[in-house]
Amino acid sequence: MLNAARSRQQATDIEIIPMGGPCGAEIRGVDLSTEISDAVIAQIQQAWNDHLVIFFRGQTVTQEQQLAFAARFGDLGSRKQAPEHLRNKTEGLLQLDPKILLVSNIKMNGVPIGAFGDGDMWFHIDSGYTNRPYRYTFLYGVELPSSGGDTLFSNTYLAYEAVPERLKKFLADKRALHIHEYKRTAQVDVDGDISDAPHHYHPVFITHPYTGKKALFVDRLMTARIEGVSKSESDDILAELYEIGEREAFIYAHKWRLGDFVMWDNLATIHARTDFPRGERRLMRRCTVDGEPVRG
């Protein structure tokens, strides 16, 4: 339960510390386990629009408090139901609340408790393979390995700006296929039968619903084919776009500390995860806010 007896956080308490790079800011002076005023939420929303990825250190938040905080930014998203044959990759033993996804490599009696297991993950957009990709993601660090497991965020407004004019023109009205089989470092083979793998077509360049800015909406893990061009041309273009989206200059790397609460704009960033030592536990609690169909 939220503790109503504790004083409301005031807008004057909040401090925003930009990371000084392409995205990312730390917010200080907010305890996410308390009741937060509308004025503070408005400041957080503004910082979020400005910095795309924001984080709070040293938080102690229950699942209920995490969901209550996330719900201040929109309707909570539900975990996507994978098709039956892929379900063991997403449905861990402790995936008990439909609004929460446990991201973890921990196993109980040999069975994973959560999703995404060990190792690195390529850049992706959360639920980019659906017709309404999540608007926002909120990830809380519960157990961390001794090193690695960083989450990398790339600013896709900057990526859009960096796309050469010839490609901006050529791709202006094009869509790309986003498809997912819950692999972490491999694409789906789209030359085979894809009817069993969740997929959707989105514009290659989207207009962000809040800021009105253009963003590159392509990622290495799930964007597999540009619609209406040959396979080889599509492969070449996508290789160029992946490279632009993953440029170091556009990336903020979040090195996790216990109690970090990180939230990102899923329409203005792509994210990836670095490797971490096998056998070391990593447990993150994730929730989301629903999105709308994206516009070009």
List residues binding ligand SIN (CB under 6 A): 103, 116, 126, 137, 151, 271, 273, 284, 286
Is 178 or 271 the residue whose CB approaches ligand SIN more closely? 271
For the CA atoms of 233, 220, 156, 137, the dihedral, rounded to the nearest 10 degrees, stands at 150
Task: Give me the least distance between CB of 164 and ligand SIN, in Å please.
Answer: 29
Decide the pairing of beta strands 53-56 and 261-265: antiparallel
Is 36 or 103 the residue whose CB approaches ligand SIN more closely? 103
CA 29 – CA 177 distance, rounded (Å) = 42
CA 8 – CA 155 distance, rounded (Å) = 33
CA 206 – CA 239 distance, rounded (Å) = 19
Is 226 or 267 the residue whose CB approaches ligand SIN more closely? 267
3-state class (DSSP) for residue 274: coil
Is 35 or 118 the residue whose CB approaches ligand SIN more closely? 118
Is 44 or 272 the residue whose CB approaches ligand SIN more closely? 272
3-state helix, strand, coil in the chain (%, to 5): 20, 30, 50
Task: Give me the least distance between CB of 233 and ligand SIN, in Å please.
Answer: 29
Task: Give me the least distance between CB of 221 and ligand SIN, in Å please.
Answer: 9
Task: Give me the least distance between CB of 278 and ligand SIN, in Å please.
Answer: 15
With CB atoms as reference, the residue minimizing the distance to ligand SIN is 151
